[in-house]
Amino acid sequence: MSNTVSWDTEGDWKAQGDWGSTDSTGRDFSVARWQRRLDELRATHHVPGAALAILVDGKVYELASGVLHRGTGVEVTPDSVFLCGSVAKVYTATMIMRLVDQGKLDLDAPVVDVLPEFATPDEEATATITVRQLLSHTGGVTNDFNYDGGRGDNCLAEYVRAAREVALDCTPGAGTSYGGLGFVVLGRVIEVLTGKTFDEAVQDLLATPLGLDQLMTLPEQALRFRVAMSHLGEPGRYPDPAPQWDIMPRSAAPAARVISSAGDMVRFARMHLEGGRAADGTVVMSPETVAAMQQREVDVPDKWTVSADGWGLGWTLYDWDGIKGFGHDGAAIGQYAYLRAIPEAGVAVALLTNGGGARQLYAALFRELLAELAGVRMPEPFAPANPPVQVDIAPFAGTYRRAGVVVTVSKRDDGSAHMLYEFVDEMKDMSPPLSMELTPVAEAVFAASGAGPSFSEDYMPVVFATLADGTEVCYVGMRATPKQSV
């Protein structure tokens, strides 16, 4: 089941046959060959449906494979829309930077200057956390605070009010910790400065100027399109349709919910590759602001969870043997999104999926695509060291805690390392406790097995580090969890 179209720079839909396209440098792009490869890899990794879009030589090619819903058998088409999870963060970051461009916001001003209702349990931290820190995940705010602010237009305001009681993961500026809470706060900043709801701002600041007809944030907006259903199940077989399409509240949108086609995601990335210009030449952002988003703000101790080498302003940053890239990953309870852009090659690739071995499909497909189109050699899959290395877990053993999560690291009698990952408090119903064996990869880096499909089908990175203020932390999923006791 496959469908293929492309969108050229003049905005005309064109069917693609078995021929390729070649630019003046001789680079060949065969749509039919990549369609076959998408079909093959999707089936191999039991992904029900996938949409792939590729920007190369100024053209956006859109491919589709499989079904939107295994229960109905409706096919994926290039104009189908998917939940894109945390890729939403770069859309929110782009809107924030548009406001910076317009002189309405200072990146280095404390958040409380524009949003006085923002607070944390640490008064000193509250007074110092800046917009820049929230964008670069260095503000110390946590990720797993899933507060439902209701379906009303005040949902973000309610979330910010409730978040005042949520403990920080770490001292602002002392290190990095993936902080979705901060992006919901940034969504509220957008509302205050524009006088619009976040959902309206997405349309006014992004969708309309960029011509993204298949970009939205609300289910009622998505239902006029062919919508991908979430699927859940055990690895190694096709998953089944989930009980619900999306369980996230409306307030999650700035951090975790945009709904898009793969083609519109690549068109969004193209603006960032072309110095802030839309496809019709409209200047949406200044080149300086676009460049600032792609500058490294912080290195990341966990370089494996999303293959990140560092973080910019919203963007995850990559360095593939000297070839720079930016992008982001997203997960939305059964739907998974991957976006990569390589400035020096003018290439962007977006993959949207609705379940199954999506991470494996992404890794295999992007490794081939980026090698051919951009000369990129992606890193090998994360796994225990081969040959094995010996690392004593004893210095890292103890209890680590952050809002909603307790991590217990222990050394067993036989010398092996073990980790118990538990959701607690308001997160206690997210998943049963996860019991994982830890195998050394390098000093302070371990591969966790037994995490299950909630996290990964392969090994999950677990990284131990000491922050600038001396706090010992355990990184799981790029979240810094402070050590509480030995």
Sign (positive or negative) of CA dihedral 103, 105, 108, 112: positive
Count Cα neighbours of 153 within 13 Å in the Cβ-side half-sphere: 8
Residue 419 pairs with which residues in a beta bridge?
Answer: 409, 436
Q: Which residues contact 89 (CB under 8 A, 6 or more apart)?
A: 180, 183, 254, 255, 256, 314, 328
Q: Are 437 and 410 in contact (CB under 8 A)?
A: no
Cis peptide before 453 (omega within 30 of 0): no
Candidate list 6, 65, 80, 86, residue with the active-site label: 86
Q: How far apart are CA 310 and CA 302, in angstroms?
A: 9
Residue whose structure tokens are 């001292």? 171
Q: Which of 115, 120, 185 is nearest to 156 (CA)?
A: 185
At a CB cut-off of 8 Å and minimum separation 6, what does 432 contact?
none
Closest among 212, 214, 261, 270 to 59, alpha carbons compared: 270
- Cα 267 to Cα 54: distance, rounded to the nearest angstrom: 9
Tokens of 150: 């209701």
DSSP state at residue 233: -
> Could you give the angle at the alpha carbon of 335 between the alpha carbons of 83 and 342, nearest 5°?
75
Could you tell me which of 484, 486, 476, 483 has the C-alpha nearest to residue 144?
476
454 three-state secondary structure = coil
Give the strand pairing for 479-485 and 472-476.
antiparallel
Residue with tokens 């960029």: 210
- Is-catalytic flag, 260? no
Q: How does DSSP classify residue 382?
A: P
Residues catalogued as catalytic:
86
